[in-house]
Amino acid sequence: MIEVEEKGNYAIITLKREEKANAMNIELMEELYASLRSLENRKNILSIIITGSGKFFSAGGDLSQMLSLDDVSGSRFSFIGHHVLDYIENNEKVYIAALNGPAYGGGMELALACDIRIARPNVVMGQTEINVGLVTGWGGAERLIRYVGKSMAGYLLLTGKVLTAEEAKSLGLVHIISEEYMKDAEKLAIDISRKNPDAIRAYKLMLKENSYVLERSMFGKIVSSQNGKEAIKAFFEKREPKFV
């Protein structure tokens, strides 16, 4: 259900459950988490692209599996999804969602957990849980409030509105719209791999904590580090830096 391809300084994870529109059940989420943990140990990999196979990025959580859940197993289903998406959001690597097709419900939650989102022009996305009588279970409501504000998040959550790629971009939920979405995602991953890995990790922490004190601390550590000095020297010497 998950395909992982390592390409030098970045990796591509593809959801491969086309017969179910890449809907995510517990087994897929556990396989995804195992893949993420495996890539965590690859220190040369700075960014990870997540995409879907076939026509969908992901139709969301697997409703057929949800139908059999009771209160206990339902909480576990939510816990596993939360755990995986929190891992993506808080990980020191850069995650890029390459949206090849619709992202509904949990599929949108997965995209929102990533740092950067690139979408094909025909992509649509929405927190559509309310349309099937449910609510977000993997942190989607919290992330949506954080990204677009409480008022707009409330509108999207309560109506289950499906956004076009352009509408999502106008709200800051999509960063780039491109027919060559995967090519652009890989170009971005390659560009990130050329940057100071210490600075990348510092920014991920700063985006999470949002603190002036942390920013000052991170600046001091980065500017005085071996990689920081190398970046400045390379700038003056008009050459590519060689980071460790």
Which residues lie closer than 8 Å to 118 by C-beta, 6 or more apart? 96, 97, 98, 99, 174, 175, 176, 177, 178, 181, 184, 185, 188
Shortest CA distance to 17 belongs to which of 78, 49, 59, 67?
Answer: 59
Question: Which residues make beta-bridge pairs with 97?
Answer: 50, 117
CA distance 192 to 159: 37
CA distance 120 to 69: 34
Q: Which residues are catalytic?
A: 109, 129
Sheet holding 116-119, edge to edge: 2-7, 10-15, 47-52, 94-99, 116-119, 176-177
- Residue pair 107/59 in contact (Cβ under 8 Å)? The answer is yes
CA distance 158 to 228: 47
Residue indicated by tokens 């971005």? 188
CA distance 192 to 85: 21
